[in-house]
Each structure stands twice: as C-alpha cells, then as structure tokens.
Amino acid sequence: MNLPRPRILRSLLVLSLTACGPQDSTVPASPLLRNNTEQAVTGVAEISASHVKEAFNQYCVVCHSEQLETAGLRLDSVDLTDVSAQPELLEKVIRKLRTGTMPPEGLPAPSPEQRHTMVAWLESSLDEVAAASPNPGRTETLRRLNRTEYQNAIRDLLKLDIDASSLLPPDESGYGFDNVIVGDLTPSLLDRYLSAAQKISRLAIGGAQASVQSDVISVPPDLTQEEHIPGLPIGTRGGVSVSYTFPQNGEYDIQVRLARNRTGDIGGLLNSQPQLMELLIDREIIETFMVVRPNGPDHSEVDKDFKARIPVTAGPHDLGVTFPKISSSLLESERQPLQSHFNEIRHPRLNPAVYQVTVTGPYATEGPGDTPS
C-alpha cells in the first residue's frame, strides 16, 4: 500500500536543503556528489533521476549489485525514472538512508546533506505516484458475525455456552435470513460487542470480579411442565435444565421462583398435597424444597425460602430444577391434550411450575480453577 507522506514534513525537508551560495559554473558536477564546501543547496525539483542514480551507483550499488548481491538485495536494476515499478523496495531504501544504517560504518557514505536530499527526492517521487493512483487498500469493514454465528464461534473456541441474545441486540434480517452481508458495525453496536467480549473473556479465564454477579434463567411462561424435560432425570416432570458456566471455585446462591398467574398467585396449587422440588447439579440432587399450598390467599411466602448456597467448582455444569413425577397409576391431573401449552383460561396449571432460577456469586472464592476454557 502506497500512501502519500505528510506534505508538511516534505516541505521542511525541501526548505532545509534550500539556501543561497556560490556555485562553480565551470564544474558540471552532480548536486548530490558535491562536497560540503561546494554544496549549493538545491531544491528537490532541481534534482533529476540521473543525479540520484549517480549517488546510488557510488554508495549503494557497489554492494547491492548482481556480482555481490549483499543480503540478497539488488539495486542495480532499479529504474529511478519509474519509481512505481518497485515502490516497496524504494521504501526500504528510504528507511535505511533516513536512519543512517546504510551504507554501513567503514564504507563510503554520503554527507548528511546528500543523504537528506536523496531521501527527499525519493519520497517526493513516490508521493507523486501514489497521489496519481491512490491505493488505500481494503476500505470496507469485515462482515461481522450475527448472534448465532458469534455464539457458535465462542462455543468452538472457548468451550463456553453463552446466550448471545442476552449480550447482543437482534440482527437485521431480510427474506427470513439474518446472516445477510449487511452487517454494519455502528459505534453503539461495536460497544455492545466490546462489552460482550469483556464478559466472555472474564468468564473464560476466571478473572477476579469486582462484585458478585447474578444471572437469571427464565422458563417460557406458556410451557405446561407436566411432562419430562430433556436433560433431567427420568421420572421427573417440568422444570428447567441448562448448562451454566461458573466463573470461579466458590459458593453460589441458587434461588428458584415458581410460576404465577396474573393475580400473583402460584399456579397449580389446586390441592393441599405438598409437592417435592429438587435442585440438581450435574444430575445429582443438591437440595430439595417442599411446595406447600398456603392456608390463606397470600402466596408471597410459598417460594421465599427456595434458596440454597452451595459450593461449586469453576467451569460448565448442568444446572437443573425439577419435580419428581407421581406414578402414572396415580394421575396428577385430568387428561389434557397432547403437548398442550399453558393458558390461564383454557388450560390452567394443575401442578406447580418453575418460572425463574437465579444464580448469584461467587462467594468465598478459591481461584479460577481448571476449566475447559
């Protein structure tokens, strides 16, 4: 990529070479090969390619020729009348001349004035070529991943099951597809991606957190929860099962809330028979709670104490909450349509159901632990 250098710097280089002084008109010497006492400060416009080529032959080509080819570099084939042919090579020459690393110590070298003039001429010539044919490179942004692709990429790279919908806004869609190449990256959307990256990176490495964090796992409110939920033990009904990544070794508070109807009462408490609810980690029962119908109309205290603080190691674990299912010989409720979904009027809940599971922690941390990430 060839980009014009700042014109101010170029002008300063030219001005530093421009002055008035006597010139020997009887000696047709190259402006670049005059010694310091005879040097007439010459503008870049007065320097020709032949003058620079003469300096090249004296100070550069002597080592970087077809015969020697020092460091695998040849300068004898460089055509200074067409600097656009090898711009990358000339950029290297400019850097070496400007820093004074070439020619190496002990070999003939141009004076500081000659060196500056050569650099200024080369820069000016390359800038003219770049201005005539601009090549800024790729200007369009890379197509960003949509939420689904981002979530799958995190899973494949870091072994983390994240919920991208809670971290990123919905993607624009067209004709039913949300992976169209419209992926604009606005400043606000970029901020959301950076925020998501910070959370995911802390979760992956188990970085120390400034305070305890809370994550809420919600169950679809219209799910009946009368049958077995995949991921939970056989012989249970309803509840929720998710893969949750605990960031560090430590203790975590897990609280369960039951589903309520529009009046705030817990649904499914139609009889006085208590029902057992189980909290599971990796399909093992960690804590049990008893769902009991209250004596009065106030249901606010039913699930108030459905909370447990448990020690958990860092990394992904299967977190589940469910109810043991009564034997099929003892029906829990009247026969319902197959795969019916809860509706308060048409199909009211006949048994308690899980609404939310909140994980808060860590407390008494013991470090990041050993995780797949």
Higher pLDDT, 218 or 13: 218
Predicted confidence (pLDDT) at residue 271 exceeds the cutoff of 80: no
Q: Which domain holds residue 155?
A: 147-205
Work out the mean pLDDT of the chain and round it to a whole number.
80
- Specify the pLDDT at position 285: 96
- Residue after which a domain boundary falls, among 187, 205, 223: 205
Mean pLDDT of 212-240: 91
- Specify the pLDDT at position 337: 52
Cβ neighbours around 292 below 10 Å, total: 13
- Residue after which a domain boundary falls, among 100, 132, 164: 132
| 257 and 357 housed in the same domain | yes
Instruction: For helices 112-132 and 49-59, give the axis angle rounded to 10 degrees.
Output: 130
- Specify the pLDDT at position 37: 35
Cβ neighbours around 8 below 10 Å, total: 8
> Structure pTM?
0.57
Q: Per-residue pLDDT tens for 240-259? A: 999 999 999 999 999 999 99
Tally of domains in the chain: 3
- Specify the pLDDT at position 336: 54
Pick from 288, 167, 272: nearest CA to 239 = 288
Asked whether residue 141 is assigned to any structural domain, the reply reads no
Asked whether residue 370 is assigned to any structural domain, the reply reads no
Q: Per-residue pLDDT tens for 159-212? A: 999 999 989 998 888 788 887 766 567 889 889 999 999 999 988 988 777 688
Higher pLDDT, 268 or 287: 287
Asked whether residue 2 is assigned to any structural domain, the reply reads no
